[in-house]
Amino acid sequence: MEKSAVKFPKWKYPTNGGPGRVVDTAEEEKALGPGWVDKPPGASDDRQLTLIAHLVAKPDKIAETAQFLLSLVDATRPEDGCVEYHLHQGNEDPTVFIFYESWTTRRHWDLHMGQPLVQAIAGRADELLAVTPRIELMTMISKRP
Amino acid sequence: MTQLTIIAHLVAKPDKIEETRKFLLGLVHPTRPEPGCVEYHLHQDNDNPTEFTFYENWTNRGEWDKHMELPHLSEFAKKAPELFAKDPHIRLMTMISDR
């Protein structure tokens, strides 16, 4: 795989307050036009946010990836708006790592994503990860017990 | 025995979103009091409302196996072809961060 194949996903948000989306290339970002910005306009979404982030380590970087991702846990949990932040590893495929995170609002997660430590993932993605991380933004629809 | 985390991904047929939501929410109430169930949460994707995800923790693999044999889960298997656009994708994981 070419080194440039792995990138941390970049998000763009429409100025009309609609849902954000991932852009994979600079061309794609440009094609969106002027109605899209890097940060969501205002606090358009006050719901609690749950997200699942899938990361796949290179087979020879499993231990290093685990160690690096675990270092994010202690730093992230005390952040403003972090409800829970858990890291998991696949039982059958140990290259698969999943973060399960809940944030008070979408805005809190956006601020978290701007933290230097999270930016450090982007910096090490080429070295550690086999594919681009996939992030699913969700709403918990079952009531918390 | 090691705690087990399950992440189950389900995709509803576009015309069955509400029915699927109701049916899956109906599984939460009977499942949470089951032996070995640590947590059992259901989510719907913000951008793709056909996509549902269960996040589950069980005290061990054996308790989850027993859960999968219970009547409300057999009902689930029976309704699956009617509600879902594809087979559920179930991941068995281990939480490696401390609680």
| CA–CA distance, A74 with A56 (Å, rounded to integer) | 21
Average pLDDT, chain A: 86
Q: How far is A145 from chain B (nearest CA, A)?
A: 9
- The DSSP result for A98-136, as a single string, is EEEEEESSHHHHHHHHTSHHHHHHHHHHHHHBSS--EEE
Per residue in A25-81, pLDDT (tens digit) is 888 888 888 888 776 665 457 889 999 999 999 999 999 999 999 999 999 999 999
**How remote is the C-alpha of A13 from its chain's centroid?**
15
The pTM assigned to this predicted structure is: 0.81
| CA–CA distance, A55 with A30 (Å, rounded to integer) | 26
Q: Residues A52, A136: contact at Cβ < 8 Å?
A: yes
Q: Does A141 touch chain B (CB under 8 A)?
A: yes
Per residue in B27-71, pLDDT (tens digit) is 999 999 999 999 999 999 998 999 999 999 999 999 999 999 998
Residues of B with Cβ-Cβ distance to A138 under 8 angstroms: 43-46, 53
Residues of B with Cβ-Cβ distance to A87 under 8 angstroms: 95-97
Give the Å distances, CA to CA, from A117 to A101, B44, B78, B99.
16, 28, 46, 21
* Contact at CB, A139 and B43, closer than 8 angstroms: yes
ipTM of the complex: 0.92
Select the residue of B41, B51, B92 nearest A142 (Cβ to Cβ). B41
Residues of A with Cβ-Cβ distance to B64 under 8 angstroms: none
Count H helices and E strands in chain B, helices first. Answer: 3, 4
Residues of A with Cβ-Cβ distance to B5 under 8 angstroms: 86, 88, 100
Up-side HSE of residue B44: CA atoms within 13 Å toward CB?
Answer: 15
Q: How far is A94 from chain B (nearest CA, A)?
A: 9
